[in-house]
Copies of this chain bind each other. A is one copy, B any other.
Amino acid sequence: MASKRCYHSQENRKLGNWGTHPGRLFATGNPATLRPVDLELLRELSVPNTTKILLLVIDGLGGLPNETGRSELEQALVPQMDRLAQESLCGLPLPAAYGVTPGSGPGHLALFGYDPLRYAVGRGVLEALGVDFDLQPSDVAARGNFCTVDAEGRITDRRAGRIPTSESAPLCGVLNQIKVEGVQVFVEPVRDHRFLLVLRGEGLSDRLTETDPQREGAKPMPVRALAPEAESTARAFNDFIAQAERLLRESQPANMLTLRGLAKHPPMPSIVETCKFRAGAIAAYPMYRGLAKLVGMDVLPTGATFADELATLKEHWGSYDFLFIHYKRADAAGEDGDFQAKIAALEEIDPYVDALHELKADVFMVAGDHSTPSVVAGHSWHPVPFMLHPQNYAQADQSEGFNEKACAHGILGTIPAKEVLSLAMAHAGRLTKYGA
């Protein structure tokens, strides 16, 4: 009953009182005011509460049938997810738009309530946030990849055999010594063959192209300016690259680099201010920590495995209202085109779903940031299986299982992924009434 009381407490009514809310966009009784969109509406209607929302993101969750006619989720033995689906609202969130294959950035932003077509985040920014780099608004960050090139400078391996961080970190140390006139240079290892490059200085622009030709046998391209104001920034990056090429020429196993996602820190509204909750993020991989930080969540230190993440979650359970926990292996298996490995990854997470369910969040969501079907061996445009398990007010589907087809027939149907946060907020008693 304590839980139920929260939904209708006088305090909440008062806080959410339409017409007196300090953060509101509407004047009471001013119908000519334009409709607020997306996060603005959420900000307008959200009220504090004592309820908890738990979001499990199974990266690359969605799949497609292989020659058996059944998808990874349909073939996997996932009794806990199947059981939970029977008591949940199921559906197929569409991350970005019909037919549009999202990167991990847009996929996560949508689950955090942001329209990913409105808020675009460059990869360089994500990498910077993921390694706790203190990115300034004027900085331009790039995701770097160590690669190998032949005597003519043509790329022979775009990832330099995915060299471990222990080998790429010393190379970063070398590059960190490079001096470029007029800017400060920061090079930091990220993971494996990936590193972060940040240029800091006056008047830098991120209207820049990438250098990765996206295939082997081609030379890295120069950074090119997409607007006149970016010419000097392009020159600075190309100066860095030229020096790096000389420094790396004799090194092993990587002797060159490429740069992608050259970007500045975008202005983003805070999910914490928008939803009036305390939000914590638990993710082993840097990029997902970066995304969470970008939207204003606290990023909690954790270990490399999902068991570590779960322990971190339990440790901080009392301190947060919204908790995001990330599971990576399903995506990695899908990216590798390994149908059986993806099944195994889904079966690995299944008992944890039960453990998370037992925490009795007021709303527990199992979601994916995008589909990564093994038969595609990459991300795809397909909407992603989803279930929202509320402690109260469930319109449960009595779905027969948790998979693409069952969710297509779920009570939520195909919905924009950016809407699921609002549904969670509503079921957690955290949204007040709209209008009189």
A328 within 8 A of B: no
Interchain CB contact under 8 A, A207 and B27: yes
A344 within 8 A of B: no
Residue in B19, B115, B122, B379 whose CB lies within 8 Å of A262: B19
Interchain CB contact under 8 A, A100 and B41: yes
Q: Which residues of B contact A45 (CB under 8 A)?
A: 100
Q: Which residues of B contact A33 (CB under 8 A)?
A: 120
Residue in B19, B224, B263 whose CB lies within 8 Å of A209: B19
Interchain CB contact under 8 A, A115 and B206: no
Interchain CB contact under 8 A, A436 and B29: no
Interchain CB contact under 8 A, B210 and A20: yes
Residue in B414, B419, B420, B433 whose CB lies within 8 Å of A101: B433
A160 within 8 A of B: no
Alpha-carbon separation in the docked complex, A339 to B29 (Å):
33
Alpha-carbon separation in the docked complex, A381 to B413 (Å):
16
29 contacts between A and B (CB under 8 A): A10-B214, A17-B210, A17-B212, A17-B214, A18-B261, A19-B260, A26-B120, A27-B208, A30-B264, A30-B266, A32-B266, A34-B118, A36-B117, A45-B100, A98-B423, A98-B426, A99-B421, A99-B425, A99-B431, A101-B432, A101-B433, A104-B436, A105-B436, A381-B426, A382-B395, A395-B405, A405-B411, A408-B411, A413-B413
The answer to whether A117 and B41 touch (CB under 8 A), given A105-B436, A375-B393, is yes
Alpha-carbon separation in the docked complex, A293 to B396 (Å):
39
The digit string for A392-436, where 1 denotes a CB below 8 A from any CB of B, is 011110000000110011011111000111111111000111111
Alpha-carbon separation in the docked complex, A241 to B395 (Å):
45
A64 within 8 A of B: yes
Nearest chain B residue, comparing its CB with the CB of A106 = B435
Which residues in window 72-115 of A have CB below 8 A to B? 96-106, 115
Q: Which residues of B contact A213 (CB under 8 A)?
A: 14, 17
Q: Which residues of B contact A317 (CB under 8 A)?
A: none
Alpha-carbon separation in the docked complex, A19 to B427 (Å):
39
Q: Which residues of B contact A346 (CB under 8 A)?
A: none
A201 within 8 A of B: no
The answer to whether A98 and B215 touch (CB under 8 A), given A27-B207, A116-B434, A373-B393, is no
Tell me how many chains of this kind the complex includes: 2
A126 within 8 A of B: yes
Nearest 7 A-B pairs (CB), nearest first? A29-B263, A29-B122, A31-B266, A99-B422, A123-B436, A99-B426, A98-B419
Q: Which residues of B contact A396 (CB under 8 A)?
A: 65
Count class of interface residues, chain A: 35 or more
Q: Nearest chain B CB to A136's CB is how many angstroms away? A: 14
A226 within 8 A of B: yes
The digit string for A224-245, where 1 denotes a CB below 8 A from any CB of B, is 1011000000000000000000
Q: Which residues of B contact A221 (CB under 8 A)?
A: 20
Alpha-carbon separation in the docked complex, A377 to B392 (Å):
13
Interchain CB contact under 8 A, A96 and B434: yes
Q: Which residues of B contact A30 (CB under 8 A)?
A: 120, 122, 206-207, 263-264, 266
The answer to whether A32 and B435 touch (CB under 8 A), given A45-B100, A99-B422, is no
A35 within 8 A of B: yes
Q: Nearest chain B CB to A197's CB is how many angstroms away? A: 13
Q: Nearest chain B CB to A275's CB is how many angstroms away? A: 11
Q: Which residues of B contact A413 (CB under 8 A)?
A: 408, 413-414
The answer to whether A393 and B380 touch (CB under 8 A), given A260-B19, A419-B98, A422-B97, is yes
Residue in B35, B267, B408 whose CB lies within 8 Å of A32: B267
Interchain CB contact under 8 A, A65 and B395: yes
Interchain CB contact under 8 A, A64 and B395: yes
Q: Which residues of B contact A227 (CB under 8 A)?
A: 27
Which residues in window 39-68 of A have CB below 8 A to B? 41, 45, 64-65
A28 within 8 A of B: yes
Interchain CB contact under 8 A, B431 and A226: no
A254 within 8 A of B: no
A121 within 8 A of B: yes
A376 within 8 A of B: yes
